[in-house]
Amino acid sequence: MNAKAETVHTLPTFRHSFVKKRCLVPATGFYEPDKINCVKQPFPWHYFKMKDNSIFSFAGLYDVWKDKNNGKEIHSYSIITTVPNTIVGKYHDRMPVILEKEEEEKWLNPDINEASQLLLLLKPFPDDRLEEWEVGAGARNPINDYPEVIEPYKSSRQGTLF
């Protein structure tokens, strides 16, 4: 489950974690479905990554809780999303919050618990540092974790209006 930057500090689901249980979710890229240009499923998916191929971190929240059915301890996390920058906004109305390297320490600092200070970090990432391309249907299923999933998709749609 994602958490919206606009409400993460007020919703009961996330409020405590926002103050006490912030984390970084490392990544080399992320996918978004094209819900802007396509109205019916299956949506084409796009892969986004840093132009310099660097690892980056999403702003996240974690929690540890007990499953009511079996009493088992569950470790979970959510990625915070925000309004998209122009590159992601071509395909989707939200994007994950990507923290600048110098913001990561502030995000993790347990002494910072004022919402006003933390909310400043939950902004769209500069689009000039990201690149994207359409990927094939394998990106739709998280079980598909192999390098070919992020290869550019060559479809008959490329170069045409659809």
Per-residue pLDDT of 76-95, as tens digits, reads 999 999 999 999 999 999 99
Check pLDDT > 60 for residue 159. no
The SS3 call for residue 141 is coil
Domain ranges of the chain: 3-142
Rounded CA separation 32/134 (Å): 10
Report the CATH number of the 3-142 domain: 3.90.1680.10
46 neighbors 32 (Cβ within 8 angstroms) = yes
> What pTM value is reported for the model?
0.90
Mean pLDDT of the chain: 93
Question: Backbone phi, then psi, for 124, in 5-degree steps?
Answer: -65, 145
First vs last Cα of the chain: how many Å apart? 31
Share of the chain above pLDDT 90, in %: 88
pLDDT at 161: 36
Pairing relationship of beta strands 73-82 and 3-4 according to DSSP bridges: parallel
67 neighbors 159 (Cβ within 8 angstroms) = no
**Mean pLDDT (whole number) for 120-141:** 95
- One-letter amino acid at 76 equals S
